[in-house]
Amino acid sequence: MADYRDDRYYVDSHEWILLDGDTATIGISDFAQEELGDIVYVEVDSVGENLEKGEIFGSVESVKVASDLYMPVDGEVLEFNADLEEKPELINEDAYAAWIIKIKVSDSAQIEDLLDAKKYQDIAE
């Protein structure tokens, strides 16, 4: 049974976003991690770029699936979680601790369009 957290928001493409002032961390949901299976590689080549909501900021790969990662809100990609370069399995171990990117949120009004844990759980399952 997948885990859902109330402290953060979700989008239907299975990313979560955890706000901290005007910055935020983004990762993939526990449900998504289960669906993908053993994650073998995380690629982010958008650090330093300003991306819009819905744009691709990277991808995660398991042995037989590759899945693009989408921005939940507009923002500048500040950092890629370097731990994932060597240990992509951290996402399987704890999808909510293993953030993938840190961003600077450029339009906080967009937060209202995001899904809470309950709504996301309904969509995911």
Binding residues vs other proteins (CB under 8 A) = 38, 40-41, 43, 61-66, 68, 88-89
- Vertex 69 angle, CA 102 and 117, to 5°: 75
State the nearest-atom distance from the C-beta of 33 to other proteins, in Å.
14
Nearer to other proteins, 27 or 88 (CB): 88
Q: Select from 11, 12, 14, 22 the least CA-distant residue to 95.
A: 14
Nearer to other proteins, 7 or 86 (CB): 86
The rounded distance, in Å, linking the Cα atoms of 41 and 11 is: 22
Nearer to other proteins, 43 or 74 (CB): 43
The rounded distance, in Å, linking the Cα atoms of 24 and 3 is: 20
State the nearest-atom distance from the C-beta of 66 to other proteins, in Å.
4
Contact 54, 73 (CB under 8 A): no
Nearer to other proteins, 73 or 84 (CB): 84
State the nearest-atom distance from the C-beta of 117 to other proteins, in Å.
27
State the nearest-atom distance from the C-beta of 49 to other proteins, in Å.
11
- Spatial strand order of the sheet with 39-43 comes to 39-43, 56-62, 66-70
